[in-house]
């Protein structure tokens, strides 16, 4: 039996801002329990739902030095689906209204504390991982501290690490002097072949340099990040580590996203009943959101963080043209004020046709995945993307830009070969996107049988964790044996 510890700043069902939480909350369930004891550690945020906070059990506490001060490190735990989740408690760091509340420097200090605490709790909880699986910049210091902790004695020697990059855009960068003070790490680590990048300290870079293996969440993104456009300044490092870098596409928690069991949607459906039942879902969502009631109109859904990454500039550019067509557009998202206001504006201008829901809601997200005919995701870049996988599962055809995981998971419709599960376009160009949407409209309105065949293929695709968990299993085996 091997011990694996996932370290992450987000994890469903406890705390989520994006796909990272979905991945960390679901992947551990898909390993063979006879082979691996997989546990998860995350911060105990005050902003977590009270329901979860009430269930956490106190394990132990101690004090640890960070940023020149002794800080309380509380350990709590909760077991769900036979998986143990540890929560690191410290109200000084984790009391914000959201996980990444506060400025960049504060976040760096917060997650430096978390990373050091993750290693420090191990002897206390009596769980010595053979491997720590780190996720994103917030845990980038773990492999670095682990290297440093080797000098403390036998205990930390031989623990392997994997650094998974969910989004290379976020790296945790601040000036070297401050980061040295916060982390208490020796000067040795702040060199260009270690933590330093472009004269600053870069936490994700530290993780990439010191981890035994580096992964990202799709094969295409694993290639893209070796190029300057997607590399965010680290493309050289990604190329240098290419022997240890691989892309493993994300899976979906099929028990959570399941159109025939979903209790959040008006009418459940399968691949045999979607023709009738998806329409019922659509009409019920139109009623709920105050859209024109029309069972025949093509509904396009968007569920997303509203940031530059997701391609909303393209939508802004052609929205007036698109709204001349027979379509309805339903948006659910929060993020940059400029995009929030952009969608509010279009919802006002095209009321009855466009619905802008500028908030976070699991419930409404499921309804949108279930009710829409198409799902629009024209990302500028996309490490993997889970929303398009959710759409496929609910027979909602993705219209995506061919980048990262979108390219790897959505097969464009080919009307001659009768293949494909969605629609895609190549360039980051608003009219290329609009033409693709209009092509989808033509299939939807004029070739309904073909459209329904695409829906069948989409629903029958398997993006559960089955095959990807197996790839992680192989990777773990290559580092820690059977
Ligand atoms: P990213 O991690 O870049 O945000 P993903 O597609 O991997 O993109 O994952 C996004 C996840 O967040 C999906 O589960 C999606 O349904 C969810 N999500 C995004 N915005 C909202 C929102 N406003 N309300 C509910 N769920 C949301
Ligand atoms: C990031 C990426 C997204 C990916 C998710 C989970 O948030 O933006 O593409 O699906 O992480 O890996």
Beta strand 245-247 with 423-425 is unpaired
Residue 303 alpha carbon to ligand 2 centre in Å: 13
Residue whose token pair is 């300057």: 228
Two tokens at 273?
């009943």
| pLDDT at residue 153, as a whole number | 84
| pLDDT at residue 240, as a whole number | 97
Ligand 1 close to Cβ of residue 304 (< 6 A) = yes
Report the distance separating Cα 102 and Cα 97, nearest Å: 9
Q: Tell me: the pLDDT tens digits for 174-213?
A: 999 999 999 999 999 999 999 999 999 999 999 999 999 9
Nearest bound ligand to the CA of residue 384: 2
Two tokens at 31?
């390993």
- Sequence-distant (6+) residues with CB within 8 A of 144 are 183, 185, 189, 194, 195, 206, 207, 209, 210
Determine the residue of 167, 301, 304 to mutate for testing ligand 1's pocket, defined as the one with the most ligand atoms within 8 A of the Cβ atom. 304
In the chain, what are the helix, strand and coil shares in percent, each to the nearest 5?
45, 25, 35
Residue 36 alpha carbon to ligand 1 centre in Å: 29
Burial track 319-353 (b if 16+ CB lie within 10 A, e otherwise): beebeeeebbbbbbbbbeeebbebbeebbeebeeb
| pLDDT at residue 444, as a whole number | 98
Atom of ligand 1 nearest to the CA of 17: 12
| Rg, the chain, Cα only | 23
Report the distance separating Cα 260 and Cα 461, nearest Å: 15
Nearest bound ligand to the CA of residue 20: 2
First to last CA, the chain: 8
Ligand 1 close to Cβ of residue 332 (< 6 A) = yes
Angle between helices 203-210 and 104-125 in degrees, nearest 10: 40
| pLDDT at residue 173, as a whole number | 98
Helices (H), 385-465: 387-393, 404-409, 430-446, 448-460
What DSSP character marks residue 90? Answer: -
Query: Which contiguous run of DSSP H or E holds residue 22?
Result: helix 19-26
Ligand 1 close to Cβ of residue 398 (< 6 A) = no
Could you tell me if 459 and 273 are in contact, meaning their C-beta atoms sit under 8 angstroms apart? no
Average pLDDT along the chain, 482 residues, taken 10 residues at a time: 98 97 97 97 98 98 98 98 97 97 97 98 98 98 97 93 98 98 98 98 98 98 98 98 98 96 98 98 98 98 98 98 98 98 98 98 98 98 98 98 98 98 98 98 98 98 96 98 88
pTM assigned to the model: 0.97
| pLDDT at residue 366, as a whole number | 98
* Residue with CA nearest ligand 2 atom 12: 166
Residue whose token pair is 């830009």: 401
């Amino acid at each position: 039996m091997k011990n694996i510890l996932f370290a992450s700043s987000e994890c469903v069902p406890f705390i989520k801002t994006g796909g990272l939480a979905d991945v960390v909350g679901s992947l551990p369930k898909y390993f063979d329990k006879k082979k691996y004891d997989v546990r998860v550690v995350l911060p105990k945020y005050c902003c977590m739902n009270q329901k979860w906070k009430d269930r956490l059990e106190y394990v132990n506490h101690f004090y640890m030095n960070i940023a020149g001060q002794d800080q309380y490190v509380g350990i709590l735990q909760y077991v769900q689906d036979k998986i143990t989740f540890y929560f690191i408690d410290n109200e000084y760091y984790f009391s914000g209204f959201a996980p990444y509340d506060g400025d960049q420097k504060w976040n760096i200090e917060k997650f430096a504390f978390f990373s050091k605490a993750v290693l420090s709790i191990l002897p206390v909880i009596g769980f010595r991982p053979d491997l720590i699986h780190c996720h994103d910049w917030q845990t980038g210091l773990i492999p670095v501290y682990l290297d440093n902790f080797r000098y403390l004695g036998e205990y930390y020697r031989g623990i392997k690490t994997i650094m998974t990059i969910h989004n290379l855009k976020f790296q945790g960068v601040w000036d070297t002097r401050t980061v040295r003070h916060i982390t208490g790490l020796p000067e040795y680590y702040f060199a260009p072949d270690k933590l330093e990048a472009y004269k600053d300290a870069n936490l994700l870079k530290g993780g990439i340099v010191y981890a035994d293996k580096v992964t990202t969440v799709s094969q295409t993104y694993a290639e893209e990040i070796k190029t300057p456009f997607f590399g965010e300044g680290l493309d050289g490092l990604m190329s240098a580590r290419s022997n240890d870098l691989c892309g493993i596409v994300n899976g979906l928690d099929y028990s959570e996203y399941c159109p025939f069991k979903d209790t959040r949607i008006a009418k459940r459906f399968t691949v045999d009943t979607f023709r009738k039942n998806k329409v019922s879902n659509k009409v019920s969502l139109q009623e709920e959101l105050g859209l024109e009631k029309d069972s025949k109109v093509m509904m396009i859904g968007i569920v997303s963080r509203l940031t530059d990454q997701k391609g909303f500039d393209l939508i802004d550019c052609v929205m007036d043209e698109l709204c001349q067509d027979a379509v309805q557009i339903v948006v659910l998202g929060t993020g940059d004020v400029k995009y929030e206001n952009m969608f509010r504006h279009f919802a006002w201008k095209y009321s009855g046709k466009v619905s802008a829901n500028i908030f976070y809601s699991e419930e409404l997200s499921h309804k949108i995945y279930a009710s829409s005919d198409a799902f629009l995701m024209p990302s500028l870049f996309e490490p993997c993307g889970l929303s398009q996988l959710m759409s496929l599962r609910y027979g909602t055809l993705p219209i995506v830009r061919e980048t990262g995981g979108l390219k790897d998971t959505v097969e464009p419709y080919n009307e001659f070969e009768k293949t494909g599960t969605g629609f895609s376009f190549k360039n980051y160009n608003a009219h290329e996107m609009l033409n693709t949407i209009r092509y989808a409209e033509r299939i939807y309105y004029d070739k309904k049988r073909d459209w329904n065949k695409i829906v069948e293929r989409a629903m029958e695709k398997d993006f559960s964790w089955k095959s990807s968990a197996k790839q992680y299993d192989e990777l773990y085996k290559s580092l820690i044996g059977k």
